Structure 1
Amino acid sequence: MLDVGTVYLVAAGALLLVALAVGVRALVRIFREGRERRRKRREGELDRYTKDPEYDREPPDPEAASRSTCPQCGAENDASFAFCRECAAPLGPGA
C-alpha cells in the first residue's frame, strides 16, 4: 500500500517535469525567433529598429535620451531621473 508521502512526491515530481518541459519549449522558441531575426538583419530583410509586430512598439528615438545637469553638483543625468545620480539632489521643476 502506498502512503500519502510517496503519492505526494510522485505527483510533485510529475508536475515539476511538466513545468520543466513547458519552460524548455518556450526557451527554445525564444532562441529560434532571436536567431531568425538576427539572420534577417544580417541579410538586410529587417532593419535594426523596426516595429515589433507583436507589441507594435515604436523604435527608440536617439534624441529622446536627453541629458540634464544637476544644479547642485553639475553631474550629467538622464532626463527621466528625479534625483541626481551623484549627490541625490532633486532635479526638475522646483529644484
Structure 2
Amino acid sequence: MLGVGTVYLVATGALLLVALGVGARALVAIFREGRERSRKRREGKLERYTEDPVYDRDPPDPDAAGETPSTCPQCGAENDAAFTFCRECAAPLGPERVTND
C-alpha cells in the first residue's frame, strides 16, 4: 500500500511536469516568433523600430493649457500641474490637501 507522502510526491511531480511542459511550449512559441520577426526585419518587411503611441508621446506642455507647475506645500518640490501627489514626498497637492493639525 502507498503512503500519503508517496502519493503527495507523485501528484506534485506530475503537476510539475505538466507545468514544465506548458512553460516549454510557451517559450518555444516566443522563440519562434522572435526568429520570424528577425527574418522579416532582415528582408525589409518589418521596420526595425516601430513607434509606440503610449510611450513615444511628448509630455504635455503645462504652459499650453494655462497650467503652471505646482509647488509642494510640505517639501517645496516642483511638480507637474497634473500631479495629485508630490513626486518627492507623496504629500497631496491641490485643493484636496490634507493638513496635519
Are the counterparts in 2 of residues 82 and 90 from structure 1 also a CA contact under 8 Å?
Answer: yes
Partners of 2:89 and 2:61 in 1: CA distance = 16
4+ aligned runs moved over 4 Å, structure 1? none
How many residues align? The count is: 83
| Structure richer in helix, relative to its length | 1
Give the TM-score, by structure 2 length.
0.56
| Structure 2 partner of 1:30 | 30
1:60 counterpart SS class: coil
Partners of 1:66 and 1:39 in 2: CA distance = 37
Aligned counterpart in structure 1 of residue 78 of structure 2, from 63, 74, 77: 74
Task: Compare CA radii of gyration and give the structure with the larger one.
Answer: 2
Q: Where do 5+ consecutive residues of structure 1 fail to align?
A: 51-58
Superposed CA RMSD in Å reads: 3.1
Partners of 2:39 and 2:18 in 1: CA distance = 32
Matches within 5 A, 1:37-48: 37-47=37-47, 48=49
Matched letter for residue 60 of structure 1: P
Percent of matched pairs sharing the same residue: 63
Give the TM-score, by structure 1 length.
0.58
Q: Where do 5+ consecutive residues of structure 2 fail to align?
A: 63-67, 72-76, 97-101
1:82 counterpart SS class: coil
Matched letter for residue 41 of structure 1: R
| Structure 2 partner of 1:4 | 4
The alpha carbon displacement at 1:2 in A equals 1.2
**Deviations along 1:26-77, whole A, 9 cap, x unmatched?**
0121122123223323432113327xxxxxxxx41633543656321335x5
Partners of 1:67 and 1:88 in 2: CA distance = 23
Q: Structure 1 87/42 Cα, relative in aligned 2: closer, same or farther at 3 Å?
A: farther
